[in-house]
Amino acid sequence: MSISSFASQSNFNVKNAMASSTLSDLMRVRKETIRECLTDFESEEHRLEKVLRINGVEYINDSKAGNVNATFYALESMENETVWIAGGVGRGSDCDMLLPLVNEKVKAIICLGEDNDHLIHTFANVVDFMIETNNLEEAVKIAYKLSDEGDSVLFSPACCGRDEHYANYQARGDRFKEAVRQL
């Protein structure tokens, strides 16, 4: 089966699809059933969810990325120059594994939340623009101003979804989507 026939073709989803199809094959699920499932699969809400395209810029909600590893896969899947909105309540996570991807794909980082110092220290010498903000609505407005046609704006926090502002990653992602719709 060709990857081009997958409903969702991001690297993250392709890897998950490959693992799922291998397990299904081992369990002797019919190949036609596997094929049907993979061509109909929809990504879950808040995980690399395409929200809107505005002025040729794709806004992507990855609020579920509650750790650096999840954000790694999100950044890896970016095909265009990216304005990355990151941060929140950090857990002392080591972001060094993101350096090559940030260097290759990210043109600006908007630091959102309490752990901005860690993000700034890690990425200040890698991107040209790093901006701090305290709320998601402002972060989205700044991303709008920094992005150009053909870019992507990725909200992938790399930190916990629950803090004094949000009950969980779903509420945080919904707030991002609403802020994008207000542009």
DSSP bridge pairs for 57? 54
Note down the domain range covering 36. Answer: 3-40
Asked if 72 and 141 sit in the same domain, the reply is yes
Phi, psi of 53 (to 5 degrees): -115, 120
Residues 115, 60: one domain? yes
Over the stretch 132-155, which tens digit does the pLDDT of each residue have?
998 899 999 999 999 999 999 999
- Domain match, 53 and 129 both: yes
CATH for 151 = 3.90.190.20
Q: Based on the domain organization, do 121 and 170 belong to the same domain?
A: yes
Confidence of residue 1 (pLDDT cuts 50, 70, 90): very low
pLDDT at 12: 54
Pair 110, 164 in one domain: yes
Q: Do residues 109 and 25 share a domain? A: no
Total domains in the chain come to 2
**pTM exceeds 0.85 for this model:** no
